[in-house]
Amino acid sequence: MRQKNIIFLFILLTSTISCEQKSEIKAPVFEETKTIDISEAIGGYNKHYLLSEENLLYGFNQLSSQLDLFNWEDGAFIRTIPLPDVPEAYEFSLSEVLPISKDSVLFIDFFGKILLSDSDSDFIKAFNLNDYLPEGYEFFFGNNSQNLIHKNGNLIFRIHQSAFSPKEQAYYDGKILAKLNLKTLDEATIFGEYPDSYKIKNGKFFFNNTKLGIDYALHSDTEILISFRNEDSIQSSSVDKNNWFDAKSSFLKSPTPLDVNQSINQIEWMVKEGYYHDIITDNYNEVIYRICVLSQDLTDLDGKRNSAATREFSIQKFDANFNLLGETLFNSILAEYSFLARILTNDGLYLGVLDTPEEDMVFRKVSFN
């Protein structure tokens, strides 16, 4: 009888633990929907930028190198913003854009060349970010990664040591961000450091180590928050110091180490591996969000390759001191929302809806429990 009681208690305890674990998975609540009319626009944007005070939404289609402008409030298409006229000798190939005000847009190419234009695409100035960096460093451009942010005339952008590859330890000994004053164009200040976990030990490293997410810290012009793809902790970095905050996801598995000489199919690896994605500072609500992209099988039940971009993900929510307020899971049953398409407004965070009419781009405001 005693043995049966022990077995019963074990089953009861196991069931209780299971229920507690399930209760930690918080379901998102969607409050309202915002529909943007793209019937006269190109659509298919991989980057979105909102100037909230002006209610201007920019959508950038990298494949077509097209930047479209919308009214966020009523969802109307305003116009396409063309690339400014560039002298052919300048050899400019558009890779990214960054609207910095309603009157100014930065056009960036893969090698760090910058074109600054007004809202009518009239050329203002051209310069190369590499000209303002210390010797040994150059601008780093990564696809599906935050490469530049701007605030109060200062441009923060990704850099790396050009003499080393991500498969060499010396690569991770260098700085990772630069700060350039766009008004004075003095020499850039470099800062930020890679985590200790990125050190190459026993010939092992992690896939996608070079990619990361960045944003300004809450109500700060000097501190930058960094979310590394393969590191649980979040770094708060400035020119003077680096602080680390433990921020492990409840759903993300540890990254898979690779041999430095191991040959892999990068597309398949992007589909399978989970990772930390962008970090988003919400000054309106005094919180910080970080996106966590979960690992998945390479193929579905029908043998079709799963999508690297349309998959299960979670969003962590922190207060100003990086106390975890919650972590919410998305797309756990059905792929409905995009972790790549999101808009932060003064009334909350909106996520892009995947299955929408062809002439619409739809965002839903999410409320985190």
| Backbone φ and ψ of 158, nearest 5° | -75, 145
Confirm if 227 and 213 have CB atoms less than 8 A apart. Answer: yes
| Residue 21 DSSP class | H
Kindly provide the residue ranges of all beta strands, DSSP E only, lying in 72-103, ordered along the sequence: 77-81, 94-101
CA quadruple 261, 262, 265, 268: dihedral positive or negative?
negative
- Specify the 3-state DSSP secondary structure of 38: coil
d(CA 141, CA 160): 10
Is residue 6 predicted with pLDDT exceeding 60? no
Q: What is the pLDDT of residues 295-337, one digit of tens each?
A: 999 999 889 999 888 899 999 999 999 999 999 999 877 778 9
Q: How confident is the model at residue 89 (pLDDT cuts 50, 70, 90)?
A: low
Total residue length of the chain: 369
Residue 366 C-alpha from the chain's centroid: 18
The two three-digit tokens of residue 220, written as one number: 């700060």
Token duo for residue 266: 């990068």
Quick one: average pLDDT of 276-290?
Answer: 96
What is residue 205's three-state secondary structure?
A: strand
Amino acid at 192: G
Section 34-38 average pLDDT: 97
CA distances, 154 to each of 9, 20, 221, 222 (Å) = 61, 46, 9, 10
Model pLDDT for residues 125-166, shown as the tens digit of each residue: 899 999 999 999 999 988 777 889 999 999 999 999 999 999
Percent of the chain surpassing pLDDT 90: 70
Q: Cα–Cα distance between 157 and 141 in angstroms, integer?
A: 9
pLDDT at 66: 94
Pairwise pLDDT comparison (343 vs 88), residue with the higher score: 343
Confidence of residue 119 (pLDDT cuts 50, 70, 90): confident
- Residue 88 is predicted with a pLDDT of 74
- Mean pLDDT for all residues in the chain: 88
What pLDDT is attached to residue 26? 60
pLDDT for the residue numbered 142: 81
What's the rounded mean pLDDT across residues 44-54?
93
Q: What is the pTM of this model?
A: 0.89
Q: 3-state class of 52 per DSSP?
A: helix
Q: Can you tell me the mean pLDDT for 187-205?
A: 94
195-to-191, 200, 229, 323 alpha-carbon distances in Å: 13, 11, 11, 20
